[in-house]
Protein backbone atom coordinates (compact mmCIF):
# COMPACT_ATOMS: atom_id res chain seq x y z
CA UNK A 1 0.00 0.00 0.00
CA UNK A 2 1.37 3.39 -0.99
CA UNK A 3 1.50 6.20 1.56
CA UNK A 4 -1.12 8.92 1.27
CA UNK A 5 0.09 11.93 -0.71
CA UNK A 6 -1.52 15.32 -0.56
CA UNK A 7 -2.31 17.13 -3.77
CA UNK A 8 0.58 19.29 -4.91
CA UNK A 9 -1.55 22.42 -4.65
CA UNK A 10 -1.84 21.80 -0.90
CA UNK A 11 1.84 20.98 -0.43
CA UNK A 12 3.67 23.62 1.62
CA UNK A 13 6.48 23.69 -0.97
CA UNK A 14 4.00 24.56 -3.74
CA UNK A 15 2.46 27.30 -1.61
CA UNK A 16 5.89 28.76 -0.91
CA UNK A 17 6.83 28.67 -4.60
CA UNK A 18 3.66 30.59 -5.47
CA UNK A 19 4.52 33.15 -2.77
CA UNK A 20 7.96 33.55 -4.36
CA UNK A 21 6.37 34.10 -7.78
CA UNK A 22 3.90 36.64 -6.38
CA UNK A 23 6.68 38.57 -4.61
CA UNK A 24 8.82 38.51 -7.74
CA UNK A 25 5.92 39.75 -9.89
CA UNK A 26 5.25 42.59 -7.49
CA UNK A 27 8.96 43.44 -7.20
CA UNK A 28 9.11 43.88 -10.97
CA UNK A 29 5.93 46.00 -10.90
CA UNK A 30 4.10 43.60 -13.20
CA UNK A 31 0.33 43.33 -12.77
CA UNK A 32 -1.68 40.14 -12.89
CA UNK A 33 -3.22 41.46 -16.11
CA UNK A 34 0.26 41.86 -17.64
CA UNK A 35 1.21 38.30 -16.73
CA UNK A 36 -2.10 37.04 -18.09
CA UNK A 37 -1.55 38.80 -21.40
CA UNK A 38 1.99 37.41 -21.71
CA UNK A 39 0.74 33.88 -21.02
CA UNK A 40 -2.51 33.97 -22.97
CA UNK A 41 -4.52 33.64 -19.75
CA UNK A 42 -7.13 35.89 -18.23
CA UNK A 43 -6.44 38.05 -15.19
CA UNK A 44 -8.86 35.90 -13.13
CA UNK A 45 -6.75 32.84 -14.09
CA UNK A 46 -3.67 34.50 -12.60
CA UNK A 47 -5.63 35.50 -9.52
CA UNK A 48 -6.77 31.89 -9.04
CA UNK A 49 -3.20 30.67 -9.37
CA UNK A 50 -2.00 33.18 -6.80
CA UNK A 51 -4.86 32.29 -4.42
CA UNK A 52 -4.02 28.58 -4.82
CA UNK A 53 -7.36 27.84 -6.50
CA UNK A 54 -5.73 26.77 -9.77
CA UNK A 55 -2.57 24.73 -10.15
CA UNK A 56 0.25 25.58 -12.54
CA UNK A 57 1.56 22.67 -14.56
CA UNK A 58 5.31 22.54 -15.18
CA UNK A 59 5.19 24.26 -18.58
CA UNK A 60 2.91 27.01 -17.24
CA UNK A 61 5.25 27.43 -14.27
CA UNK A 62 8.25 27.96 -16.53
CA UNK A 63 6.28 30.36 -18.73
CA UNK A 64 5.07 32.26 -15.64
CA UNK A 65 8.64 32.53 -14.37
CA UNK A 66 9.80 33.81 -17.75
CA UNK A 67 6.91 36.31 -17.92
CA UNK A 68 7.71 37.89 -14.55
CA UNK A 69 11.45 37.89 -15.24
CA UNK A 70 10.73 40.06 -18.26
CA UNK A 71 13.94 39.00 -20.00
CA UNK A 72 16.12 39.78 -16.96
CA UNK A 73 18.31 36.65 -16.68
CA UNK A 74 19.80 37.69 -13.33
CA UNK A 75 16.31 38.13 -11.90
CA UNK A 76 15.21 34.78 -13.39
CA UNK A 77 18.22 33.06 -11.82
CA UNK A 78 17.58 34.76 -8.46
CA UNK A 79 13.99 33.46 -8.41
CA UNK A 80 15.13 29.99 -9.50
CA UNK A 81 17.67 29.88 -6.64
CA UNK A 82 14.99 30.97 -4.15
CA UNK A 83 12.70 28.21 -5.36
CA UNK A 84 15.42 25.58 -5.08
CA UNK A 85 16.28 26.72 -1.55
CA UNK A 86 12.59 26.42 -0.63
CA UNK A 87 12.50 22.88 -2.00
CA UNK A 88 15.60 21.84 -0.08
CA UNK A 89 14.35 23.27 3.23
CA UNK A 90 11.16 21.23 3.10
Per-residue pLDDT at 3 exceeds 70: no
Per-residue pLDDT at 1 exceeds 70: no
What are the extents of the domains in the chain?
8-89
Per-residue pLDDT at 39 exceeds 60: yes
Q: How far apart (Å, rounded) are the C-alpha atoms in residues 45 and 17? A: 17
Per-residue pLDDT at 62 exceeds 70: yes
Q: How far apart (Å, rounded) are the C-alpha atoms in residues 88 and 55? A: 21
**CATH number for the domain whose boundaries are 8-89:** 1.10.260.40
Amino acid sequence: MQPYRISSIHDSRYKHIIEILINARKTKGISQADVAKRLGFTQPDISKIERLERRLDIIEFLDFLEAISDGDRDFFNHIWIEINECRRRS
